[in-house]
Amino acid sequence: MTDVQQHAEQIHDQFSDTLDITVTDVEERLDTLVNEYKVPAEEARRSVTSSYLDEAGMDREELGGESEERTVETIATPEEWVDLTVKVLQLWEPRSESIAQVGLLGDETGTVKFTAWATSDLPELEEGSVYRLENVVTDEYEGRFSVKLNRTTTIEELDEELDVPESGGDSEDREIGAIDAPEEWVNVTAKITQLWEPRSESVGQVGLLGDPSGTLKFTKWAKSDLPELEEGSVYRLENVVTDEYEGQFSVKLNRTTTIEELDEDLEAGDDAITVEGALVDIQRGSGLIKRCPEEDCTRVLQNGRCSEHGEVEGEFDLRVKAVIDDGNAVHETIFDREATEELAGISLDEAKEMAMDALDTSVVADEIREGVLGGYYRVEGPTLGRYVLANEFERLGGPTDAEETLIKARSL
């Protein structure tokens, strides 16, 4: 049985009681996406499932499914229904009224983020307690997995212990520039280079810290009851957890973090680079996009949904995710709204008008692509994960044939 056939049967089983559909109907939809439009099978399944949910007038959490016993480390696919025996390692401050609880769960094999929706009407989990959670659904955002507790989830508190450190793992010393994965527990020695004004009462301090290898953002939660950090001072921070959003890594200070001020100076490295080459590709997710409007959340919506806050009324924004080839390597580069308006010569209001006239937001990305693809640029900015953030840029040449440009770039 092929993946398409297997997915078709599973989707049919989920909707056969509410919709008049056959396995063949589902398979035809999947086959069109997978074989005609070259959409990955898992993404095609999510798309077809979403369309049937709309037809049935159902919420995703009402879908349910056959859950199976799993450990945290085996969670590697979204939209699977699983049963877990886990310890609540941390609870974080929800950033939306739609979320009842959010935090970190763990067992002997690893840790995973969880979200419990306010509408689910579930009993609250307590930090440090062990629970049997049945019928939770897995989720994924940019390679990072989590679990969602919903109205079909059952919760049983267990009178037992799990061998999971409070930190979710043994923390290790790490240079700032070597942080390249989320949800790792690390120790850093760093200088506070900037402090910013928190935009939420749940955040105690937020800013930038660095060592000779680079800089990154840090957040200290208000409820963590940690001492205040001072700009310009150097600290030994033990047991901080790494985080990632759109390729940008950061660290979170929590109630298990220890802070020691050091009587020394530390040079914070400048991780800005300059890239000069041909703009050979405009990636998916460029142009007119919508972001989550919730406080401190800027996630890009997918089909009107935020991976953190669910279905929301998004706010329009502009961005370009470009690929620049310098002849030796390619650099994925992000242009924010201001940089995109300068790059493409299109304002956000003009982009919204274009999309409204065409009843299609993709016309904005097409317009940008036509104007910039094949041109030569010099871009300068910090590296955020695998991306270069275009703080400053200069056009070195006008658009040319993109394929010829790539060939020329590779011959330099």
How far is C-alpha 136 from the geometric centre of its chain's CA atoms? 20
Token digits of residue 40 = 């990955």
**Alpha-carbon distance 357 to 327, whole Å?**
39
| pLDDT for position 61 | 58
| pLDDT for position 143 | 63
The residue count for the chain: 412
**Alpha-carbon distance 201 to 217, whole Å?**
18
**Alpha-carbon distance 179 to 385, whole Å?**
9
Q: Which amino acid is at 199?
A: R
CA atoms within 13 A on the CB side of 401: 4
Shortest CA distance to 62 belongs to which of 113, 14, 133? 14
Q: Is 275 exposed, middle or buried (0-12, 13-18, 19+ CB in 10 A)?
A: buried
The Cα angle at residue 118 between residues 116 and 120, in degrees rounded to 5:
75
82 to 42, 48, 211, 411: CA distances (angstroms):
17, 21, 41, 52
**Alpha-carbon distance 299 to 60, whole Å?**
20
Contact 252, 218 (CB under 8 A): yes
| pLDDT for position 301 | 84
Q: Locate tokens 């509410």: which residue? A: 18
155 to 55, 66, 132, 158, 201: CA distances (angstroms):
31, 17, 6, 10, 30
**Alpha-carbon distance 305 to 285, whole Å?**
15
The Cα angle at residue 140 between residues 137 and 141, in degrees rounded to 5:
145
Helix, strand, coil % over all residues of the chain, rounded to 5: 25, 40, 35
8-state DSSP, 32: I
Q: Which amino acid is at 250?
A: S
**Alpha-carbon distance 370 to 403, whole Å?**
13
Q: Which amino acid is at 43?
A: E
| pLDDT for position 409 | 47
**Alpha-carbon distance 25 to 29, whole Å?**
7
8-state DSSP, 36: I
| pLDDT for position 168 | 45
DSSP assignment of 233-266 equals: -EEEEEEEEEEEETTEEEEEE-TT-EEEEESS--
Q: Is 300 exposed, middle or buried (0-12, 13-18, 19+ CB in 10 A)?
A: middle
φ, ψ (nearest 5 deg) of residue 221: -70, 145
CA atoms within 13 A on the CB side of 249: 23
390: left (phi over 0), alpha (psi -120 to 50) or beta: beta
23: left (phi over 0), alpha (psi -120 to 50) or beta: alpha
Mean pLDDT in runs of 10 for the chain (412 residues)? 81 80 91 80 80 76 71 88 91 77 88 87 91 90 79 90 64 87 86 82 85 87 86 92 76 87 84 86 92 74 77 88 89 92 94 89 93 91 76 76 49 46
